[in-house]
Amino acid sequence: MLLIRPIRPEDAGAFLELSIAAGAGMTSLPTEMERIEHKIESSVASFAREVESPGDETYLFVAEDRASGRIVGTCALFAAVGLHRPFYSYKIVRFAHSSMELDHFEEVDTLMMVNEYRGAAEVASLFLRPDARGNQNGKFLSRSRFLFLAQFGERFADLVMAEMRGVHAEDGASPFWDGLGRHFFDMEFIKADRLSSLGKYQFIADLMPKFPIYIRLLPSDAQAVIGQPHPATRPAYELLLREGFRFEGCVDVFDAGPTLHCPRSEIRGVRKSRLAEIAWVV
């Protein structure tokens, strides 16, 4: 049996173990103790704060195995992203090309950098240890966030988004980054991803191309992963789709993982949630 509860300062060591186990690409799960302690402090302060409108609050949860007391998973909610620094994405935009002279018409997909999710709430940081993934525990952990959204809706923006981890190899190499990003940055994918996780976004605006990128000009392996979730992330991706989230063309600027979104009131777990009192029978 799992207990989903707010993270506490004494969970820092267990959270570090989870972050390491999650692997590359999970930028919201840092592997430096100083950053973990800062995240926990921010979460504790957010839960304690009287909120009139959503701001930079972060709500971090852990899944505790009640039998052993072991921390086996985590998930998080961000009240509103992009308020103080940009939240960049690539958006797939389709252009029509036609030539009357050649009697030829075709539609061409491009990538354009956008800041489309400024002010949206985010569900994030979902990770459960492999040995704890039975008995519908993953679904329980993911959907617990929707119950919190339902009960404390005033703390969150009306639109909720989720940035899914994209495809990359076990060593952290990303086909999309290798096909596009590394041509504009003198660094590996893991370093760029880490800078982003530290809140350093200006380098993206400074160095990424300012004009549409024609997808068909990218290497075939880079094209193939655009909008595709990491295999380990696909169950979470499918669950969000069943909850009412949808993909409308925005992808991560580093690994091209899909970004999903849904109005908070239309999320299945929010719509169908009910408050009830329970009685413990001894």
Amino acid present at 10: E
**Residue corresponding to tokens 């200006």:** 202
* β 159-163/258-263 pair status: antiparallel
Question: Residue 232: what pLDDT?
Answer: 87
pTM of the predicted structure, to 2 decimals: 0.88
For 195-242, what is each residue's pLDDT tens digit? 666 666 666 767 778 789 999 999 999 999 999 999 989 999 999 999
pLDDT band, very low/low/confident/very high, at 24 (cuts 50, 70, 90): low
Set 38, 84, 230, 261: catalytic member = 230
* β 159-163/121-128 pair status: parallel
Distance from C-alpha of 43 to C-alpha of 168, rounded to nearest angstrom: 29
Question: Residue 28: what pLDDT?
Answer: 77
pLDDT band, very low/low/confident/very high, at 86 (cuts 50, 70, 90): confident
For 31-85, what is each residue's pLDDT tens digit? 889 989 999 999 999 999 999 889 999 999 999 998 899 999 999 999 999 888 8
For 88-141, what is each residue's pLDDT tens digit? 899 999 988 777 777 778 889 999 999 999 999 999 999 999 888 888 999 999
Domain 2-271 homologous superfamily, CATH: Gcn5-related N-acetyltransferase (GNAT) (3.40.630.30)
Question: Residue 96: what pLDDT?
Answer: 85
Active site residue 230: yes
